[in-house]
Amino acid sequence: MNLEEFNNLPQRQAAAILRPCLDVERWINDIVASRPYASNDELLAAGSRSAESLSEAETAAALAHHPRIGERADGNSAEATLSRGEQAALQLNEDITAQLSTANRAYEDRFNRVFLIRAAGRSSAEILSECERRLGNDDDIEAREVAEQLSAIALLRLEQVVSN
C-alpha cells in the first residue's frame, strides 16, 4: 500500500493496517488522527514521536505479541508474518538455537519479559551477544533499551506496510 492510499483509508481500515506494526491503541490512534502525511518520512517521524512516549503498560502489552528471538512466530496474522520475515536471515543451527533459548530464559528470569531486539539485518551471533550484554543492564537502562527496540521494530514494520 502506498502513502496516498493509506492517507485516504477510512479510520478503521487505517488502524487495522497499523496494528501489526505496534499493537498499542494510542500509537495507532495518534498516527491515524495525524493523517494526511505529505511523505513517508513525515509518517515515520509521527510514528517515532508517538512510540517515544509509550507507557510501561503499553510497552508490556506490545511485548505480549512478540515471540522469543529464534522462535518462529505462530499463525497467519500480519504481525506473525512480519516477525517471521524479520527473523528469516537468522542462521539457526542446533547449537545457536540452544544458546538463544538459554539466553532468552535468563533474560526473562532477570527482567520478567521477553527479550526484544530488532532482528532484521542482524546475525544470530550478534543477537546472542546483545542479549548477553543486556543481561548486565539495570532495570531502568533495560527499560529504555526495550523501548528503543520496540520503536525500531514498529518503524521498520510501518515502513514495510506503507511504502511508496
Determine the 3-state secondary structure of 114 from DSSP: coil
Measured CA to CA, the distance from residue 48 to residue 138 in angstroms comes to 25
Mean pLDDT of the chain, nearest integer: 87
Determine the 3-state secondary structure of 67 from DSSP: coil
pTM: 0.83
Q: Please spell the DSSP secondary structure of 2-36, one letter per residue.
A: -HHHHHHS-HHHHHHHHTTT---HHHHHHHHHT--
Contact 42, 26 (CB under 8 A): no
Among 23-32, 76-85, 101-110, 149-158, which stretch is predicted with the lowest mean pLDDT? 76-85
pLDDT score, position 85: 55
- The percentage of the chain sitting over the pLDDT mark of 90, rounded to a whole number, equals 66
Q: Which three cell numbers stand for residue 81?
A: 508474518
DSSP 127: H
- The percentage of the chain sitting over the pLDDT mark of 70, rounded to a whole number, equals 85
pLDDT score, position 91: 59
For 3-161, which CATH class?
mainly alpha
Angle between helices 124-134 and 94-111 (to 10 degrees): 20
Determine the 3-state secondary structure of 76 from DSSP: coil
Contact 145, 137 (CB under 8 A): yes
78-117 per-position pLDDT tens digit: 555 555 555 555 556 778 888 888 999 999 999 999 999 9
pLDDT score, position 17: 94
Determine the 3-state secondary structure of 115 from DSSP: coil
35-73 per-position pLDDT tens digit: 999 999 999 999 999 999 899 999 999 988 777 776 655
Mean pLDDT (whole number) for 108-133? 92
- The residue among 109 and 77 whose pLDDT is bigger is 109
125 pLDDT band, cuts 50/70/90, is confident
